[in-house]
A and B are shown apart, each in its own frame.
Chain A
Amino acid sequence: EVQLLESGGGFVQPGGSLRLSCAASGFTFSNYGMTWVRQAPGKGLEWVSTISASGGSTFFADSVRGRFTISRDNSKNTLYLQMNSLRAEDTAVYFCARDLTGPTAYFGFSGQGTLVTVSS
């Protein structure tokens, strides 16, 4: 069974940093691109970032480019999202997802997400 377990969310002040993790199991992690999608409270889904299976290619939404970094450790079956210079508008539940096709993808979700709250 495919499982994606997000962690690392929490409360942070504007300008602060946070690193999210997504532990994957039930599939060959190194064969799949991976993606972060977020959802602000009461709002819709927003694509944040994607990383290729090898980690050699990364893509970002304009709203986070230059502030967020996506990475992966295929030896640990783990996806990361380093979030710097956080803003109030980054407050959201962050979901990780498996890219189900390539080179562009739709997504398979599994976890419950992790909540990031940016507030003073």
Chain B
Amino acid sequence: AQSVSQHNHHVILSEAASLELGCNYSYGGTVNLFWYVQYPGQHLQLLLKYFSGDPLVKGIKGFEAEFIKSKFSFNLRKPSVQWSDTAEYFCAVNAENYGQNFVFGPGTRLSVLP
């Protein structure tokens, strides 16, 4: 069965620290990869996505993610976090062999201390 794992349940950082959130998935073949963010009290929204091409993808608010096919990973990074990055982050995968179904990871809660 398809599955998406996220390494950390809760990450606590101080402002200006660097961030890396892990995401791994468990199927082969062609995949499409997404990171979504949910700020407190707000809707889920798309941070960035990867379909093909350059495996280093840049998203909104200074976030980027790198697709490493050999490691089945799509880790999210930001060089310097801000208090406003406090949110829940979800990795999602669509495997083209599985049609249009998105599978979301369990999420990582990021708390940034001012």
User: Does B bind A?
Assistant: no
Query: Chain A interface (Cβ within 8 Å of chain B)?
Result: none
Q: B residues touching A (Cβ–Cβ < 8 Å)?
A: none
